[in-house]
């Protein structure tokens, strides 16, 4: 498989060094400083940000500084040929705003005006942002807190933070554009998130929606449209690395015999290969004479309906979903795929957002139960302690969460983590597999059988839970809750877990509480959550999600991110003094990015 799974090249960031156009001394004195600003930003981005395949994000710098309209046009033409989707304009001086600004309505834009006194870079920043606002082209303004010397070539910490936040979010926007969401099946058990809206994907994300019937999986199995050698390798890998659990869930009359269990393993492994091929294609199939099937659907995210028509008759999709969502399989350590359980496209979209911001695997889970301290003590006879003392949320679904979510990877200080695939060691991948037991599926839920992963997430991981909801008359709205995974008394865990489902993976989550009414206590977070599912990412990335959402014109209905970390286009401040209300008004005014 090629490193970039999708059609075309990765998008690039264009750096626009703008300058005072007055020749005869002024412009000439600024050429080196201005171009060096552009080069320093390009270096900062290349050193800190990576594409999903692990290669450094590429920046393209205009061939010359930009002082007048012809140079703006030449830059735009170069960026068009180079596949630039995000632009950062930099300058240490005054420039002619409307002549030097990025006028492309579909590029995501930022302007860094150097805070120095020798030349008025900050004055240009204010002027050009006013131009962006007047022309309806929102841009992010980056202005350093402290005055710098004109000879200072360093990028201050606060400017660095904003540049990288903008670049991460902008690249997520540009990477989604032109890709597909693939629905395998349709609506699952009446779940609203699996009622896929092409208008949302097209207007807000620049993506297309692809849809196929689940029977395509059976056709490929029946007609042998999969790599047979890879299948044998994958099955052997699963037998060696995927620990099967004792069937303690099903009634005796529902327990499959050894032959039935082995047949299920063969089925689910084959299914995982086929679902991957449906998403991104497989050149091996063309060699086998299946040229059409070899193409795939260019899907950067997908969802599998499963319940109930499929799972009433065939083994469930938990193995395929869990393995594809993980950062490793029979091919080795590799980038995860984004595959939503129950075809919840809205949760799959947030998984995609967070993945593109972090390059790490994402946990898909039910936001199942709020456990109050009183209820826990009543049921178990024990008290919750530590971070969980004020209650916790049980995140659990039918065994399809990424195995990275077990928390068996470690950061540089030895704390549990979920990492980009290029930072994961073979030992860590093996530890995630060893921490997971594959339980025979609950056949009262999944009549066709199959296997569900079972693990307990290690506590102590900072994480961000997010959810996208579609509201009639309003459009898409995002929710964000930063918090931590927590360890609890094993006795408490067993009692609570057993009464929910013994065969599914559990993550105990505690959100960070604030004075906001949505976050005044753990109950309020659960009570105000907009749907039954959430996407959970490693790290406190709420600020990045907020920036990304503003680029797409999706408002945030609740979050617990520090207000000082909220970074949106400069013009948002013109929509009122309340930041969150202004966000709604701005998103409504500008509308979807691609409409």
pLDDT in tens, 443-489: 999 999 999 999 999 999 999 999 999 999 999 999 999 999 999 99
Asked whether residue 342 is marked as a ligand-binding residue, the answer is yes
The two three-digit tokens of residue 326, written as one number:
């993980």
**What is the structure's pLDDT at 67?**
97
**What is the structure's pLDDT at 121?**
77
User: Is the omega angle on the peptide bond into residue 354 within 30 degrees of 0, that is, cis?
Assistant: no
**What is the structure's pLDDT at 148?**
79
Q: From CA 362, how far away is CA 173, in angstroms rounded?
A: 18
Average pLDDT on 234-242 reads 98
Candidate list 318, 329, 342, 544, residue with the active-site label:
342
Buried b (16+ CB within 10 A) or exposed e, 349-388: bbbbbbbbbbbbbbbbbbbbebbebeebeeebeeebeebb
Q: Catalytic site residue 366?
A: yes
Of 388, 370, 372, which is closest to residue 528 (Cα–Cα)? 370
The two three-digit tokens of residue 333, written as one number:
């350590």
User: ∠149-14-552 over CA atoms, to 5°?
Assistant: 105
Confidence band, pLDDT 50/70/90 cuts, at residue 1: very low
Asked whether residue 366 is marked as a ligand-binding residue, the answer is yes
Average pLDDT on 247-252 reads 93
- Parallel, antiparallel, or unpaired for β 180-184 and 339-341? unpaired
Which has the higher per-residue pLDDT, 501 or 108?
A: 108
Residues 320-376: tens digit of each pLDDT: 999 999 999 999 999 999 999 999 999 999 999 999 999 999 999 999 999 999 999
Residues 544-577: tens digit of each pLDDT: 999 999 999 999 999 999 999 999 999 999 999 9
Asked whether residue 247 carries a pLDDT value surpassing 80, the answer given is: yes
Cα distances from 142 to residues 85, 135, 171, 333, 554, in angstroms, run 19, 19, 17, 38, 21
Confidence band, pLDDT 50/70/90 cuts, at residue 147: confident
Residues 488-499: tens digit of each pLDDT: 999 999 999 999
Question: What is the pTM assigned to this prediction?
Answer: 0.96
Average pLDDT on 521-526 reads 98
Residue 79 is given by DSSP the state: H
Q: What is the full DSSP assignment across 395-440?
A: EE-SS-S-GGGG--EE-TTS-EE---GGG--HHHHHHHHHT-EEEE
Asked whether residue 516 is marked as a ligand-binding residue, the answer is no
Confidence band, pLDDT 50/70/90 cuts, at residue 152: confident
As a whole number, the mean pLDDT across the chain is 96
Which has the higher per-residue pLDDT, 114 or 363?
A: 363
- Could you check whether 12-176 and 180-590 share the same CATH topology? no
- Domain spans in the chain, listed from the N-terminal domain onward: 12-176, 180-590
Asked whether residue 437 carries a pLDDT value surpassing 60, the answer given is: yes
HEC string of 337-368 equals CCEEECCCHHHHHHHHHHHHHHCCCCEEEEEE
Asked whether residue 2 carries a pLDDT value surpassing 60, the answer given is: no
The topology (CATH level 3) of 180-590 is L-fucose Isomerase; Chain A, domain 3 (3.20.14)
Q: H or E element: which one contains 126?
A: helix 121-135
The secondary structure of the chain in percent helix, strand, coil, rounded to multiples of 5, reads 40, 20, 40
- List Cβ neighbours of 234 (8 Å cut-off, separation of 6 or more): 269, 272, 273, 329, 330
Q: Catalytic site residue 342?
A: yes
- Options 3.10.129.10, 3.40.50.1070, 3.30.750.24, 3.90.79.10; CATH for 12-176 is 3.40.50.1070
Average pLDDT on 197-222 reads 97
Q: H or E element: which one contains 217?
A: helix 215-223
367 contacts 530 by C-beta, under 8 angstroms: no
The percentage of the chain sitting over the pLDDT mark of 90, rounded to a whole number, equals: 94
Asked whether residue 116 carries a pLDDT value surpassing 90, the answer given is: no
Candidate list 71, 214, 366, 487, residue with the active-site label:
366
């Amino acid at each position: 498989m090629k490193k970039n799974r999708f059609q075309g090249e990765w998008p690039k960031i264009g750096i626009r060094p703008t300058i005072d156009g007055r020749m005869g001394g002024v412009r000439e004195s600024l050429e080196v400083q201005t171009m060096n600003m552009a080069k320093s930003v390009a270096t900062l981005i290349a050193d800190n940000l990576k594409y999903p395949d692990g290669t450094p994000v590429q920046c393209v710098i205009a061939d010359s500084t930009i002082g007048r309209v012809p140079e703006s046009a030449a830059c735009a033409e170069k960026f068009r040929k180079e596949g630039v989707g995000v632009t950062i304009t930099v300058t240490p001086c005054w420039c002619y705003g409307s002549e030097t600004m990025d006028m492309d309505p579909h590029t995501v834009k930022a302007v860094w005006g150097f805070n120095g006194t020798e030349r008025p870079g900050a004055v240009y920043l204010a002027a050009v942002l006013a131009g962006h606002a007047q022309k309806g082209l929102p841009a992010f303004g980056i202005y350093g807190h402290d005055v710098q010397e004109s000879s200072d070539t360093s990028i201050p910490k606060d400017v660095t933070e904003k540049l990288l936040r903008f670049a991460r979010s902008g690249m997520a926007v540009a990477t989604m554009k032109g890709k597909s969401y693939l629905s395998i099946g349709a609506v699952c058990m009446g779940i609203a998130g699996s009622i896929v809206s092409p208008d949302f994907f097209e207007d807000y994300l620049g993506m297309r929606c692809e849809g196929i019937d689940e029977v395509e999986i059976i056709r490929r199995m029946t007609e042998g449209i999969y790599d047979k050698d890879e299948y044998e390798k994958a099955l052997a890998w699963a037998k060696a690395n995927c620990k099967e659990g004792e069937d303690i869930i099903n009634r005796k009359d529902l327990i499959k015999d050894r032959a039935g269990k082995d047949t299920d393993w063969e089925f689910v492994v084959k299914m995982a290969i086929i679902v991957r091929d449906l998403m991104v294609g497989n050149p091996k199939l063309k060699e086998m004479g299946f040229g059409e099937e070899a193409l795939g659907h260019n899907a950067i995210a997908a969802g599998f309906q499963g319940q109930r028509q499929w799972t009433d008759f065939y083994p469930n999709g938990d193995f395929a979903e869990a393995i594809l969502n993980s950062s490793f399989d029979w091919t080795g350590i590799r980038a995860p795929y984004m595959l939503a359980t129950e075809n919840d496209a809205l949760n799959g979209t947030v998984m995609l957002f967070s993945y593109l911001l972090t390059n790490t695997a994402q946990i898909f889970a039910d936001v199942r139960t709020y456990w109050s301290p009183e209820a826990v003590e009543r049921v178990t006879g024990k008290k919750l302690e530590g971070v969980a003392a004020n209650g916790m949320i049980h995140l659990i679904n039918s065994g399809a969460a990424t195995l990275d979510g077990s928390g068996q990877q470690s950061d540089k200080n030895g704390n549990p983590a979920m990492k980009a695939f290029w930072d994961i060691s073979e030992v860590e991948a093996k530890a995630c597999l060893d921490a997971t037991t594959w339980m025979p599926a609950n056949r009262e839920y999944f009549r066709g059988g199959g296997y569900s992963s079972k693990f307990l997430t290690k506590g102590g991981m900072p994480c961000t839970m997010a959810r996208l909801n579609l509201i009639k008359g309003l459009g898409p709205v995002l929710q964000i809750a930063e918090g931590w995974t927590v360890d609890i008394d094993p006795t408490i865990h067993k009692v609570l877990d057993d009464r929910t489902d013994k065969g599914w993976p559990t993550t105990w989550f505690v959100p960070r509480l604030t004075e906001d009414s949505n976050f005044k206590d753990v109950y309020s977070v659960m009570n105000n959550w907009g749907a039954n599912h959430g996407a959970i990412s490693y790290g406190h990335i709420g600020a990045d999600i907020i920036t990304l959402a503003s680029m797409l014109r999706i408002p945030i209905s609740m979050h617990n991110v520090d207000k000082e970390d909220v970074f949106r286009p400069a013009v948002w401040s013109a929509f009122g003094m309340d930041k969150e209300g202004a966000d709604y008004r701005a998103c409504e005014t500008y509308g979807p990015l691609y409409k």
